[in-house]
């Protein structure tokens, strides 16, 4: 059932109908129920601006009734926050010591030489079939996921980005009021003809810890099924800025992305909130990209060209068990 639904939404001729896809922004309570954020620490709540997030009192969160534990937070990011995480993903997370699909391909590495992928991709206007911008598919940080063995290794590990670590902990604490240790992340780069086949994320030793998924850029059709591939999945729209927390039973359910469709909400090109933020100690200390830099329209222009034809997804996972009682 999952494969049939996946093929249906993936097809281009004739294009599949989007009529039955769940849109949590407009659909009713027969499908979703309001989820009440569980974090109550006011000192923690006030850290939101460090990550380009709105105050949690403004967040809208829902839980899917057919998938208990699937928490959907409707874009809690400011416009400037979206720009920040897009730029970090594209320009910084795609560089060493992180691993990428390009780093596994000698011919492309030779083409880049001393330059980064983004050094060349940022100069391109369109994603034509020969462009370098089309070559980036994934990047891994922290524990590097082995795509062949599906196993994490202590020997295949690089530093986890400090800003993504702190923001992931913050989101999980505010939403679920539980502790979370980000140890591995995969950045998926999608173009308009990209897809991600159905799968279950079970490589982590601790599959009871939440999986944090952040979407930026063009809209994705997200399929979420059951614990086996025979369960018919639900189709959900993921817009830029949306966050999914896969917890409980949903953590080990089949999911995939059969289609990317053009968004109608390019929040990243709205600069109305740009003056509200400045680079703080966190972003100045650890990052090449800062909240203040993406306030600059000229600096942002190359990122706008890329994300105008692409989607970036950040998946953050806790790999190991940790004792939070001490």
Q: Which residues are annotated as a binding site for Fe cation?
A: 199, 201, 255
Dig out the tokens for 47 from the structure: 């850290």
The per-residue DSSP string of 48-112 comes to GGGGTB--GGG-EEEEETTSTTEEEEE--B-HHHHHHHHHIIIIITTSTTSEETGGG-HHHHHHH
* Size of the chain in residues: 326
Dig out the tokens for 45 from the structure: 């709540």
SS3 190: strand
CB 124 within 8 A of CB 116: no
Annotated binding-site residues read 199, 201, 255
CB 140 within 8 A of CB 185: yes
CB 232 within 8 A of CB 225: yes
């Amino acid at each position: 059932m999952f494969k049939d639904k996946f093929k249906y939404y993936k097809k281009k001729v004739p294009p599949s109908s989007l009529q039955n896809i769940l849109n949590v922004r407009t659909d009713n309570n027969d499908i979703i129920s309001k989820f009440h954020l569980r974090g109550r620490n006011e000192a923690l709540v006030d850290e939101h601006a460090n990550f380009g997030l709105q105050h949690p009192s403004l967040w809208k969160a829902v839980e899917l009734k057919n998938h208990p534990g699937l928490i959907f937070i409707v874009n809690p990011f400011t416009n400037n926050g979206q720009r920040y995480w897009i730029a970090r993903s594209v320009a910084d997370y795609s560089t060493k010591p992180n691993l990428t699909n390009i780093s596994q391909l000698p011919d492309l590495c030779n083409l880049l030489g001393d330059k980064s992928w983004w050094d060349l991709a940022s100069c391109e206007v369109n994603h034509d079939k020969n462009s370098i911008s089309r070559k980036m598919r994934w990047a891994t940080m922290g524990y590097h996921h082995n795509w062949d063995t599906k196993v994490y290794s202590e020997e295949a590990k690089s530093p986890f980005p400090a800003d993504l670590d702190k923001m992931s902990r913050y989101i999980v604490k505010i939403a679920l009021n539980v502790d979370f240790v980000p140890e591995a992340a995969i950045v998926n780069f999608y173009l308009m003809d990209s897809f991600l086949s159905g799968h279950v994320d079970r490589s982590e030793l601790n599959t009871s810890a939440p999986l944090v998924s952040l979407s930026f850029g063009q809209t994705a059709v997200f399929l979420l099924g059951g614990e086996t591939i025979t369960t018919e999945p639900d189709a959900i729209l993921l817009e830029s800025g949306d966050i999914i927390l896969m917890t409980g039973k949903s953590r080990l359910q089949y999911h995939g992305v059969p289609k990317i469709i053009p968004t109608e909400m390019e929040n990243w090109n709205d600069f109305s909130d740009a003056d509200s933020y400045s680079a703080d100690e966190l972003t100045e200390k650890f990052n090449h990209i800062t909240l203040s830099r993406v306030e600059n329209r000229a600096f942002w222009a190359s990122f706008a060209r890329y994300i105008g034809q692409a989607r970036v997804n950040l998946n953050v996972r806790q790999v190991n068990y940790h004792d939070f009682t001490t």
